[in-house]
Structure 1
Amino acid sequence: MGEKNLKKSPRNKTIDFNLTEGHEYADRVVDAREVQDYKDMVDKTINGDTFETVKKIPDHTIDLIVVDPPYNLSKKYHGHTFDKMDMEEYSSFTRKWLEEAKRVLKPEGTIYVCCDWETSMVMGPLVGEIFQLKNRITWQREKGRGAKTNWKNSMEDIWYATQSDRYTFNLDEVKMRRKVLAPYRDAGKPKDWQESEKGNYRDTSPSNFWDDITIPFWSMPENTAHPTQKPEKLIAKLILASSNPGDTVLDLFLGSGTTSVTAKKLDRHYIGIEQNPLYCAWAEYRLEKAENDRMIQGYADGVFWERNTLAAQKTERTKKQES
């Protein structure tokens, strides 16, 4: 038999280089042990243990924290393994980093914590104990295999909390553009909706259920080989709602860099901490690409679009390339 052809299709944009191939990006990563001052952390990808590295961030300096911690599942992460804990141990692990998050968050700051259905039972009560709990967002994760002896897991949670009663929430920045299927007119004019050559639509206020998220796949430029990568569109909603341009966004478990990349695209500062050096290199590669490409799939014209309605976004991309 001949050798298996492992060459990727030209359309396959998945980021999956090793540290040798990506040495120039690995060289840009900051070793946590070399951080001497807070300014060494801003707009940087930092490779190190989260619990040790976060201690170098001064009290009350972060505007927004977005955290996608390891779910309590035994899982391999390219040379690193997370072993499932009992609930008491996982609760202790979670409390430890939540308390550090509270210390570094500004009095008017916000935190979002991602989790699956099972860890949500631990996360919600702890987040509510340490912060002021505002809501639970549930989003549809449409990708994944079915289960033979259980219902397929296609939903995940994000717990939304603040440090105090003073916090940022930019409602107009996170409107959802939806098609109007039964348009109502008043005196012949559209009522509470807009008419365009591309169809009828209404910009609606977002709820705490999101069914418009596409999980990154092989032909999307943001896609990496990270097993639990979050979409830029998902994180963009959190950043736009709960921070302002120039604010600093912290991710304590950066993974392949989605929070930092999305923050950069939206003109925020970022700090990303990740223990896996390979994922840090992937993050730096993505950050370099974000210098010239600020597009976020599913977000255009200042609104979020329903899934698989990309025509307007492609038009917007063409306009920017021609300008």
Structure 2
Amino acid sequence: MRFFSVYDVIFYVAKERGHSEKDVYAFFRKFKIKKKDIEEYKTSGVIPSDLTLIDAILSYTEMSMIELELKMGRIPRGYEKVFIDKTKDIADLLSKNKNETYPILNINVPPFFETELGKLYSGDCVELLKQIPDNSVDCVFADPPFNLDKEYDEGVNDRLSYSDYINWCIKWLDECVRVLKPGGSLLIYNLPKWHTYLSNYLDQKLNFWSWIVVDMKLSLPIPNRLSPAHYSLLHYVKGSKPKTFNNQRIPLQTCRHCGGEIKDYGGYKSKMNSKGVNVSDVWSDIYPVRHNGSKNRKFNELPVKLLDRIISMSTNDNDIVLDPFGGSGTTFAVSELLKRRWIGFELGNCEIIKKRLTNKEKDKKLLEKVYKEKNKLFPDKVKELRQSNGFWLSEDF
């Protein structure tokens, strides 16, 4: 059984002992602890800072502090390094029960919307993240507001001071690090400016894996500055290496007019993989969702191709993907189509996401279009163009 709060642990013990709710609160009154003091932690995964309350909880449950933290699904304080160093031993121990089923993680508030594969919650991500058990999520993808003073939905503040924005990011990052399984991947999509700070902080918590440049030539020139032409995607791993890394392959870059390869591979043509070339850490084939007819909301929206690459690269079927900033729901839509389980939060308009997940045809067609070019050295149209102009194909070798 998984526990999310000290309240859960208290009443689990009470049930085991046959104690009523009245019995429980009578015991805590001896410590001058009121009912409301305990119920304050009913929907919170944090450990109380009040030492009197902690002593009373340990006394009632007859547990040590380490036992309490383990019951809550946490790594006991001070043991994080031991846990990470022993991930293989722990994984071997857990893998002995291969028939165990893993339901979608539950939170002590009703979901706004749910499918067979995932649950969407409406609310502040920092508070909702606190209810997720430690080491329970395979991949976290986060696309937070960029603090550019954009107009989002009511309740979403995109105009914080420099320090307030960084401090807010650290709050949800700490929770994301906590909920990741050993070997799990954390990927964050943001401006390079903010990533210089976030990367410096995450270097103390996780293992740096990649700084991915996502080429997006959209911005207008800025006086006395280089023109912004990319977003960055940070990839960090909990532990020494990712438990899942599925290599992604894309077509060889060719001229759109004649079909000839742009880079000369010389005598290595015969060694080219027929499924395409390895994706590098510069993604120049991802294009923004520009047309209003393709958007699910009026704000910026991430392309299906971007999320397919991220989720396909860092997870396998049935893994759990967490997105604390649901936005238009691209992460959840792609997770559904790729048969990944998911959990999501959104502070703004959740109806947009619900509508999108209820009507999957548009996303299905977009994903089919992505896969027409994925894992192919030359897409069909490029192959025809190359044949007509006498260029080599992988079948020639």
Assess same fold via TM > 0.5: yes
The superposition leaves residues 271-293 of structure 1 with CA deviations (integer Å, 9 ceiling, x where unpaired) of: 110001x2x11112221232685
The Cα of 1:192 is off from its aligned counterpart by 2.3
Q: Distance in 2 between matches of 1:54 and 1:171?
A: 27
The Cα of 1:106 is off from its aligned counterpart by 0.6
Q: Distance in 2 between matches of 1:69 and 1:158?
A: 12
The verdict on how the C-alpha distance between 1:183 and 1:97 changes in structure 2, with shifts beyond 3 A counting, is closer
Counterpart check, 1:246 vs 2:348: no
For 2:336, the equivalent position in structure 1 comes to: 264
Pick the aligned partner of 1:215 from 288, 294, 313.
288
The verdict on how the C-alpha distance between 1:86 and 1:268 changes in structure 2, with shifts beyond 3 A counting, is same
For 1:191, the equivalent position in structure 2 comes to: 270
Could you say what secondary structure the match of 1:56 adopts? coil
The Cα of 1:209 is off from its aligned counterpart by 0.6
Which protein has the bigger strand share? 1
The Cα of 1:102 is off from its aligned counterpart by 1.3
The Cα of 1:301 is off from its aligned counterpart by 4.9
For 1:177, the aligned partner's letter is P
Q: Distance in 2 between matches of 1:293 and 1:68?
A: 19
The verdict on how the C-alpha distance between 1:63 and 1:291 changes in structure 2, with shifts beyond 3 A counting, is farther
> Within 5 A, what are the aligned runs for 1:78-157?
78-147=153-222, 150-157=225-232
For 1:67, the aligned partner's letter is A
For 1:287, the aligned partner's letter is L
For 2:353, the equivalent position in structure 1 comes to: 283
For 1:7, the equivalent position in structure 2 comes to: none
For 2:311, the aligned partner's letter is I
For 2:371, the aligned partner's letter is A
Q: What is the aligned length? A: 264
The Cα of 1:145 is off from its aligned counterpart by 3.8
Question: Whose relative contact order is higher, 1 or 2, with alpha carbons under 8 Å and at least 6 apart?
Answer: 1
For 1:68, the equivalent position in structure 2 comes to: 143
The Cα of 1:75 is off from its aligned counterpart by 1.8
The verdict on how the C-alpha distance between 1:226 and 1:45 changes in structure 2, with shifts beyond 3 A counting, is farther
For 2:360, the aligned partner's letter is A
Counterpart check, 1:299 vs 2:373: no
For 2:130, the aligned partner's letter is K
The Cα of 1:215 is off from its aligned counterpart by 0.4
The superposition leaves residues 182-227 of structure 1 with CA deviations (integer Å, 9 ceiling, x where unpaired) of: 56568xxx50237xxxxxx771111111100110122664x23342
Could you say what secondary structure the match of 1:164 adopts? coil
User: What is the TM-score of this pair, normalised by structure 2?
Assistant: 0.59
For 1:227, the aligned partner's letter is F
In the alignment, structure 1 segments of 5+ residues that lack a partner are 1-31, 195-200, 313-323
Is residue 298–residue 304 contact of structure 1 (8 Å, CA) maintained in 2?
no
The Cα of 1:72 is off from its aligned counterpart by 2.6
For 1:82, the aligned partner's letter is N
- Work out the percentage of aligned pairs sharing the same amino acid: 22
Is residue 123–residue 346 contact of structure 2 (8 Å, CA) maintained in 1?
yes
Asked which structure has the greater CA Rg, the reply is: 2
Q: Distance in 1 between matches of 2:214 and 2:342?
A: 24
The Cα of 1:148 is off from its aligned counterpart by 5.3
User: What is the TM-score of this pair, normalised by structure 1?
Assistant: 0.72
The Cα of 1:250 is off from its aligned counterpart by 0.2
The verdict on how the C-alpha distance between 1:294 and 1:133 changes in structure 2, with shifts beyond 3 A counting, is same
For 1:159, the equivalent position in structure 2 comes to: 234
